[in-house]
With several copies, the nearest count.
Chain A
Amino acid sequence: MYTEKVMEHFRNPRNVGEIKDADGIGMVGNAKCGDIMKIYMKINNGIIDDVKFQTFGCGSAIASSSMATELIKGKSVDEAVELTNKAVVEALGGLPKVKVHCSVLAEQAVKSALYDYAQKNNLVVKGLEDFNPDEDVHEH
């Protein structure tokens, strides 16, 4: 079902936890659908120094969160904004079709945290102009 990479990230998720004085926090998904992701970021000089996540969700949701945080850790805000769900899926070596929405959720969570950071700091981040943090990624 899941690739070895997915299972590895699920078994040993990287960057689990909270950041108390985070510069940006994003939370997406809803409990109804069975997945919620919350991402915390510490950003210094436009660089994501630290990132942590908390996820309520299935194996691929947890693995996607773990992978997404890994992919943006140490990156600049501008680079992080460009993270796509596709990149997450690829880095995980693929996801089952019915689980692809988990990677979309991860992308949204990252964007959501960056958006929060931008709002708080009155910044305009290229690529977040159209971002709506309250959008639901599930097609019900």
Chain B
Amino acid sequence: MGKKVYMDNAATTQTKQEVINEMIKYFNEMYGNPSSIYDLGRTSKRAINKARTSVAKFINADEDEIYFTSGGTESDNWALKGVANANKSKGNHIITSKIEHHAILHTCEYLEKQGYEVTYLDVDENGVVNIEQLKESIKDNTILITIMFANNEIGTIQPIKEIGKIAKEKGILFHTDAVQAVGGLRIDVKDLNIDLLSMSAHKINGPKGIGALYVKKGTKLDNFMHGGAQESKKRAGTESVQNIVGFGKAVEILEENFDEHIEKITKLRDRLIKGIKDNIADIKLNGHPVNRLANNVNFSFNYIEGESLLLYLDMEGISASSGSACTSGSLDPSHVLMAIGLKHEIAHGSLRLTLSDSNTEEEVDYVVQKLVDVVNRLRVISPLKG
């Protein structure tokens, strides 16, 4: 087989070998249920609390503010439904943005059906939420602002500190979906006035199916998963001990070389952007030119369609992603690309390349070279070019 270049780290990441090594003994050696009082159970309990400490430290939270969930989606569902339910008597209005992940948007739609009112803020052409519109949208019955920390498609980082300040001044709870941001920038929940924050392990070289919700002490939040007394009676279900341990380890590894890690990825990203810009015409970089995730590259290539692009790249061993409808089975292209004002046919021709620190300059150059070929081939086939 030929070369393999994985550049879809926003979709998911490879679980690091050190993470696997840490997890492995929790499968058939230390396999006790953390709720059990015997030695084997207490060992599991200690392991999950160690992971909890690592996760808490990473975002400057306290240990008892971290609750493990089954992933970013559950964290988002819990935060929104839990706040909505618990604060019903205060109001029923929620503010979010048009470019949130579906885990937020579809939960909002569900809440609308339950009688809540949701304002979807616009974003500018770089994907930044409109702060003026946010301020104007706040009403007496607003109970929650939920704005993602950084966007999964175009990488744009939101002015979270500003939003946190507004929310705090108005006494409104502030949740942020930081699933994509956690690996890409330093987050301090205290400094940023964040009340709730969603995370997911598989985006930072941890295992799939584990995440966390940070809940600031004193936040009114109903349970989402009802049952046993796990997670201080806040999130029921036998803990996925091995996954939690893996999540903790992934965070520890990230913490260790954070600045180095970001610097390396940023360099690769900029090389990739330059390479594409220098070699392919009729393109557009999507997302914010500066305030973007270190690992995110998103281009639209006029005249061609994303799925074809992905499939041709796949033949060259390159894994990437697109905002084209055809990759999702729907007809409309990504709501994010629409929200930043792209025309349909341009949005269909988008490509997302997301890096990790396992990528190399050589891989970046290989991708540029193959991309030139593939875009050319598809433009030859296209009836739009000409």
- Check if B344 sits within 8 Å of A59, measured CB to CB: no
**Looking at the complex, which one of B308, B329, B380 makes contact with A57 (CB distance below 8 Å)?**
B308
A-contact bits for B36-53, CB 8 A (1 contact / 0 none): 010000100000000000
- Check if A54 sits within 8 Å of B329, measured CB to CB: no
| A56 interface residue (CB < 8 Å to B) | yes
Complex alpha-carbon distance, A98 and B307, angstroms: 13
| B175 interface residue (CB < 8 Å to A) | no
Complex alpha-carbon distance, A35 and B378, angstroms: 13
- Check if A16 sits within 8 Å of B305, measured CB to CB: no
- Check if A31 sits within 8 Å of B307, measured CB to CB: no
| B324 interface residue (CB < 8 Å to A) | yes
- Check if B331 sits within 8 Å of A57, measured CB to CB: no
The residue on A at minimum CB distance from B42 is A1
- Check if A57 sits within 8 Å of B326, measured CB to CB: yes
Q: Which B residues from 298 to 330 make CB contacts under 8 A with A? A: 303-308, 311, 315, 324-327, 329
Complex alpha-carbon distance, A11 and B311, angstroms: 9
- Check if A11 sits within 8 Å of B304, measured CB to CB: no
The residue on A at minimum CB distance from B310 is A59
| B384 interface residue (CB < 8 Å to A) | yes
- Chain A interface size, under 10 / 10 to 19 / 20 to 34 / 35 or more: 20 to 34
The residue on B at minimum CB distance from A65 is B381
Complex alpha-carbon distance, A43 and B1, angstroms: 44
- Check if B315 sits within 8 Å of A11, measured CB to CB: yes
| B292 interface residue (CB < 8 Å to A) | no
Q: What's the nearest-Cβ distance from chain A to residue B381, in Å?
A: 5
| B248 interface residue (CB < 8 Å to A) | no
Q: A56-B305, A59-B307, A62-B308 are in contact. Are A34 and B326 (CB under 8 A)?
A: yes
- Check if A54 sits within 8 Å of B382, measured CB to CB: yes
- Chain B interface size, under 10 / 10 to 19 / 20 to 34 / 35 or more: 20 to 34
| A27 interface residue (CB < 8 Å to B) | yes
| A94 interface residue (CB < 8 Å to B) | no
| B383 interface residue (CB < 8 Å to A) | yes
- Check if A16 sits within 8 Å of B383, measured CB to CB: no
Q: A56-B304, A57-B308, A58-B305 are in contact. Are A36 and B333 (CB under 8 A)?
A: no
| A20 interface residue (CB < 8 Å to B) | no
Q: A31-B348, A34-B333, A138-B331 are in contact. Are A58 and B383 (CB under 8 A)?
A: no
**Looking at the complex, which one of A16, A36, A37, A58 makes contact with B307 (CB distance below 8 Å)?**
A58
- Check if A58 sits within 8 Å of B315, measured CB to CB: no
Which residues of B have CB within 8 Å of A85?
Answer: none
- Check if A58 sits within 8 Å of B324, measured CB to CB: yes
Q: A59-B307, A62-B308, A98-B329 are in contact. Are A32 and B344 (CB under 8 A)?
A: yes
Complex alpha-carbon distance, A10 and B348, angstroms: 18
| B22 interface residue (CB < 8 Å to A) | no
Cross-chain pairs A/B with CB under 8 angstroms, 20 sampled: A1-B37, A10-B308, A13-B381, A27-B383, A31-B343, A34-B306, A34-B326, A34-B348, A36-B383, A38-B383, A54-B383, A55-B381, A56-B348, A57-B305, A57-B326, A58-B306, A58-B327, A59-B307, A61-B308, A62-B381
**Additional pairs, 19, CB under 8 Å, beyond known A1-B42, A54-B381, A58-B307:** A7-B311, A13-B381, A27-B383, A31-B343, A31-B348, A32-B344, A32-B345, A34-B305, A34-B325, A35-B326, A54-B382, A54-B383, A56-B304, A56-B384, A57-B326, A58-B305, A58-B324, A58-B326, A59-B326
